[in-house]
Amino acid sequence: MDSQTLAGDLSKGRPVGGTEFSWCRAVPGGTGITVLAILLSRPVSLPALRSALQSLQTSHPILSAVLAAADTPRPHLSIRSTHPPLRLDLLPAADLLAAVPSASHLHCLLERELNQNPWSDPADETRVFFATLYELPEPGRSVLSLRFHTAVCDRTAAVAILKELLDRLGGDSGSSGKGEKEGVMLGVEDLIPKRDAWKPFWARGKDLVGYSMNGLRASTLRFVDAGSDRASRLVRLVMSAEETRGLLTACEAREVKLCAAMSAAALVAAHSSQHFERNQQKPYLVATLIESRKYLEPILHDNNIGFYHSGIVNTYGVHGGEDLWELANRCQITYSNAIKNKKHLTDIGELNFLMCKAVENPHLTPASSLRTALISVFDEPVISESSEQQQYLGVEDYVGCSSVHGVGPSIAFFDTIRDGKLDCACVYPSPLHSRKQIQELVDHMKRILIEGSHLKE
């Protein structure tokens, strides 16, 4: 790894980058709390778990960092020798789950973790990584929660952390790979090649105005309660292996990505839920998150921990009655053109600026809702297969996602294809939107995707 990509003296840390700073502004309000929750059906050795977590911090020092002066213009990620090691909190979950069906234990505790916000109040220093083991009422069963400040852990990093943690719990101490003792990497903006980040000043101004105007004109889901305090909740969209196979085959036949098909289905379902008059067209914003490690210099690996996603925001007009694949093709073309024009690299600054402005001025968004898009999707799903090691450790289920009840979309989709089945965590702000409202929309999306997968050319 090129030494210039490191942050230098770890005892001093470094100022956060532009994208990291936007997360620093968003997290106190409730957006940007990343949680990886793992349901374990077998007893876990506490010494082994503590050792594995400390090993993660050794391999990835940024997980040992504190966010210093997060409410100032120049917050820092800082690592000092005096910082205590990560504490594993042990909590009995019986009281928390007293009225919750057994099948919902993971769901309930995941929602709880999404709304645990140590970054909500200004503090001199706050850790970026927390770990909690919830002991379930059933003997030997537990839920392990890893909670991160999103500025230091994007979805790719969370997947790498999960794999490395399970490897270490399974006795493999050599799986940290290229991330071993990597230091604290620079922010994504500092690693984009200058040739890819350059854009004329006038073009930046034009794009900034364009994004602002599109945001003001865009339609939203109906708000159920825009005045009450909010929390992040989730529903899950799960397809069988056969349904998933049919959907992926249909996407491949039409040369569209899964993210384009999911975006199209969400747009159709959202427009339908509004009960507009026939052919009454409305514009909607879709934010697509792009894994950017491969576009940086030097190229980063999946286990380089940090936030290295960028975003593309596009507007789509929907009038009702659209064919799924016609709309998915529109989404695919717009997304592909944006990537071709490198907007995922050139527009980072503009999108970060607008995100911070929305945090500072919620009245600029509809009903002060802080909604900046209808949905957010990832350009690629996480692909995972269960292993003998997971079975040995008793890994029964797991979900990774981030909170959105501050600034963000109405629904954030975190999609995984696990053992051939699409499993998507759909996170939304409550009570701005109700669980019934989002569940109905997600169920409608699923029907659209399944029915569309059966249509012939």
pLDDT in tens, the chain (457 residues): 443 445 445 456 788 999 999 999 999 999 999 999 999 999 999 999 999 999 999 899 899 999 887 667 778 888 866 666 788 999 999 888 887 777 799 999 999 999 999 999 877 789 999 999 999 999 999 999 999 999 999 999 999 999 999 999 987 765 444 444 455 678 999 999 999 888 877 777 878 788 888 888 899 999 999 999 999 999 999 999 999 999 999 999 999 999 999 999 999 999 999 888 777 899 999 999 999 999 999 999 999 999 999 999 999 999 988 999 999 999 999 999 999 999 999 999 999 999 999 999 999 999 999 999 999 999 999 999 998 889 999 999 999 999 999 999 999 999 999 999 999 999 999 999 999 999 999 999 999 999 999 855 4
Instruction: Return the sign of the alpha-carbon dihedral for residues 25, 26, 27, 30.
Output: positive
Chain centroid to Cα 431, Å, comes to 20
Written as one string, the DSSP assignment of 161-185 is: HHHHHHHHHTT-----GGGTT---B
Same fold across 3-188 and 193-453: yes
What pLDDT score does 207 carry?
81
Name the nearest CA neighbour of 81 among 3, 4, 13, 165: 13
Contact 150, 32 (CB under 8 A): yes
**Rounded to an integer, what distance in angstroms lies between the CA atom of residue 187 and that of residue 443?**
38
Strands 408-418 and 382-384, bridge-based pairing:
parallel
What pLDDT score does 2 carry?
46
**Rounded to an integer, what distance in angstroms lies between the CA atom of residue 125 and that of residue 59?**
22
What pLDDT score does 34 carry?
98
What pLDDT score does 12 carry?
62
What pLDDT score does 278 carry?
76
Q: In CATH, what number does 3-188 get?
A: 3.30.559.10
For domain 193-453, give the fold.
Chloramphenicol Acetyltransferase (3.30.559)
**Length of the chain in terms of residues written:** 457
**Rounded to an integer, what distance in angstroms lies between the CA atom of residue 402 and that of residue 148?**
9
Tell me the residue type at 174. Answer: G
- CA angle, 258 then 266 then 223, to 5°: 150
The residue extents of the domains of the chain are 3-188, 193-453
What pLDDT score does 76 carry?
87
What pLDDT score does 377 carry?
98
What pLDDT score does 456 carry?
53
What pLDDT score does 277 carry?
75
